[in-house]
């Protein structure tokens, strides 16, 4: 019980001393209050707030007795621990002024220290920017930024700032980090569109969680990008920007194969109709016209595939699906065409051969070719599907 009471007394002692010191200050007993303030500051039982209050009490009393330099030292030590520190008792204006001066000095010291730390951190980050050499109005300007250096992992965002001669200020576009670690950004054709040549000004900034850290170029001295005269509208819309990913996948998996098979069937049906119409009109099938129509199947299939995938993929890859189905169409058509050239009637590949001289049986070739068209359509669909999924996984959000 005695030990517990002693512990309670020790815990309460700094607070009691602070109350007594405040009373002594009100009674202008500064010498005794000064001694008590120093006792509070050095008391191991005092917490941080109580110790700082003791420093303010001591500083106030030192200023009151004319020891201004010592008071300033006390105030500097107090605000160095807590720059927002306020006394728990009213101060005279002249003493409050000393405290505010110490606070201002501490704020400036912290600002200088933080600025020096930012400069040191910035020295550990480098930006390697690969801009386009020149573009034409309406084209997209693509930039690649590599962030290197010991502190490169501190960078959380990169921005591309640019301005045309007619713009009142710089536009800012985010640069996205790819999975390969390279940051990639683009100025769209909607911004570069112009029928007149001009010089676009740009710079790149990189920031950490506290704000901008380093830059390549700057607002006062931006870098130039030559834009040749071109179109007044954007001419660079990427396939991935035309339709939502879900719609593109649906078209690739269902729409494109269906269009290819429909084109193949319609072309083959057209060949049969021409042959039958010729037989009805002139009494003899037109093998040449039927053959010509039949050989159009690879072309119509390729056109159907190209039309169905024009908003799905772009560049050289855009030709792959069409080339696949065209090749499948040729594999189907060539054996049939060779048989027709040998005298076999066109309609015979649709029916089981009858009595008499056995004609060339193209039934298996026809059905096998149809299966090949379906297979080719499915394989061709994997090209845009793979591209769409690849695009979706390129960037780290």
Question: How far is the C-alpha of 301 from the C-alpha of 296, rounded, in Å?
Answer: 9
- Please tell me whether residue 313 adopts helix, strand or coil conformation: coil
Closest among 252, 383, 235 to 319, alpha carbons compared: 383
Q: What is the largest CA-CA distance in the chain?
A: 136
Tokens of 39: 């006792």
Torsion sign (Cα): 241, 246, 251, 257: positive
Q: In this model, does residue 84 exceed pLDDT 50?
A: yes
Does residue 7 carry a pLDDT above 90?
no
Indicate if the pLDDT at residue 106 is higher than 70: yes
Q: Between 341 and 307, whose confidence is greater?
A: 307
Nearest to 336 by CA among 361, 309, 308: 361
Asked if the model's pLDDT at residue 358 lies above 60, the reply is no
Least confidently predicted of 207-221, 263-277, 348-362, 379-393:
348-362
Q: What is the DSSP string of 211-242?
A: EEEEEES-SSSPEEEEEES--SS-----GGGT
Residue 93 clears pLDDT 80, i.e. is over it = yes
Q: pLDDT tier at 389 (50, 70, 90 boundaries)?
A: low
pLDDT tens for 257-314 read 777 778 777 776 776 666 666 666 665 555 566 666 667 777 777 777 777 777 676 6
The average confidence (pLDDT) of the chain is 79
Q: Report pTM.
A: 0.54
Look-up of token digits 């301005």 = 163
């Amino acid at each position: 019980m005695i030990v517990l009471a002693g512990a309670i007394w020790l815990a309460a002692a700094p607070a009691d001393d602070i109350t007594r010191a405040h009373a002594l200050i009100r009674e202008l007993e500064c010498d005794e209050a000064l001694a008590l303030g120093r006792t509070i500051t050095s008391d191991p039982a005092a917490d941080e707030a109580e110790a700082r209050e003791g420093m303010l009490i001591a500083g106030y009393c030192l200023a009151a007795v004319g020891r201004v330099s010592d008071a300033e030292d006390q105030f500097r030590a107090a605000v160095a621990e807590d720059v927002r520190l306020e006394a728990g008792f009213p101060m005279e204006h002249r003493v409050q002024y000393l405290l505010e001066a110490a606070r201002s000095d501490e704020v400036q010291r912290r600002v200088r220290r933080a600025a020096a730390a930012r400069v040191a951190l910035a020295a550990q980050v480098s930006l390697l920017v690969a801009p386009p050499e020149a573009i034409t109005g309406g084209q997209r300007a693509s930039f690649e930024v590599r962030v290197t250096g010991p502190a490169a992992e501190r960078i959380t965002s990169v921005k591309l700032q640019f301005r045309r001669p007619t713009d009142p200020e710089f536009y800012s576009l985010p640069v996205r980090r790819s999975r390969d670690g390279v940051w990639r950004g683009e100025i769209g054709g909607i911004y570069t569109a112009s029928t007149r040549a001009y010089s676009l000004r740009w710079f790149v900034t990189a920031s950490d969680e506290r704000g901008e850290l380093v830059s390549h170029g700057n607002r006062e001295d931006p870098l130039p990008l030559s834009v040749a005269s071109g179109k007044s509208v954007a001419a660079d819309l990427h396939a991935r920007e035309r339709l939502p990913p879900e719609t593109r996948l649906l078209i690739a998996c269902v729409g494109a194969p269906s269009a290819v098979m429909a084109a193949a069937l319609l072309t083959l049906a057209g060949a049969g109709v021409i042959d039958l119409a010729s037989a009805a009109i002139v009494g003899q099938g037109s093998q040449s016209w039927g053959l010509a129509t039949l050989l159009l199947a690879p072309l119509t299939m390729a056109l159907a595939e190209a039309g169905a995938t024009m908003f799905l993929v772009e560049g050289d890859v855009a030709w792959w699906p069409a080339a696949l189905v065209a090749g499948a169409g040729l594999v189907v058509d060539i054996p049939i065409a060779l048989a027709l050239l040998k005298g076999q009637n066109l309609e015979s590949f649709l029916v089981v051969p009858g009595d008499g001289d056995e004609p060339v049986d193209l039934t298996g070739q026809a059905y096998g070719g149809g299966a090949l068209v379906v297979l080719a359509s499915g394989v061709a669909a994997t090209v845009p599907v793979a591209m769409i999924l690849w695009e979706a996984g390129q960037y780290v959000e």
